[in-house]
Amino acid sequence: MKRPPAIDPKTHALFLDFDGTLVELVDDPEKVGLEAPRIDRLTEIAASLDGALAIVSGRRIADLDRFLSPLAFAAAGVHGLERRRAPGGAVEFLMQPEALDPIRDALAPTLEENRRLSLEDKGTALVLHYRTAPDLAEVAKAVMRKAAGGRDDLVVMEGDNIVEVHPSGMDKGRALEEFMTAAPFAGRVPVYLGDDTTDEFALKTVAAMGGLAVKVGTKPSVADHRLADVADVHHWLDVCGV
């Protein structure tokens, strides 16, 4: 794979994953952050693109706002189940948290027996983390699959040391497609940077649209371009042409 070229602020729209792309993966999801100069650079890029910058993440939009303040940005949170279509716009929720109550109940005994597993409750998605307990990976995957068994309205996805359940019919690729139908993204060429399995949906969508699909890291990907790691992403953002 080759490095991504510079982008054109007049014709491109930029979509960025958060964890593993803008910030390093860490054991505690709350212990991440960007230094002020990095946020200032993202603010410059967003202005150059006339607002066509979106963060597309498994995180909740409220958490992204906290980590990226005072940056104003469009966002897809929880893989698109939360949506803010333009900077400063209202957040839309595509489902209610109560739909996952049976899954919460089913996971509770395993979490009680295996205290090294941690559950991240995003309201519209549930994530079992086993980064600090890799020996429990299969336990986490099995209990999540069993809890969601028989629910056609849910999908179980595996990521980097996590297994997640959320409603079916939405992923990062579909969220990106919807962004591209309206201002400030409509009529532009999408550029997507992401590192994880869940980002492959968006990378595939961008490639099909004739955009720039950029994989971060060394995992296999449908992307034609690659950046080595988070530090390389920030270097590219510094010289990307906007």
Q: Name the residues annotated as catalytic.
A: 17
Supply φ then ψ for residue 145, to 5 degrees.
-65, -40
Q: How many residues does the chain have?
A: 242
Q: How far is it, in rounded angstroms, from Cα 175 to Cα 86?
A: 13
> What residue type is 182 in one-letter code?
A
Distance between alpha carbon 65 and the CA centroid of its chain, in Å? 14
Report yes or no: 13 and 185 within 8 Å, Cβ to Cβ: yes
Question: Rounded to whole angstroms, what are the CA distances from 125 to 35, 69, 75, 158, 193?
Answer: 28, 24, 16, 13, 22
Distance between alpha carbon 129 and the CA centroid of its chain, in Å? 16
* Burial grade of 182 (CB within 10 A; 0-12, 13-18, 19 or more): exposed
Q: Where are the alpha helices (DSSP H) in the chain?
A: 36-48, 61-68, 101-113, 137-148, 172-179, 200-208, 230-239
**Largest Cα span, the chain:** 55
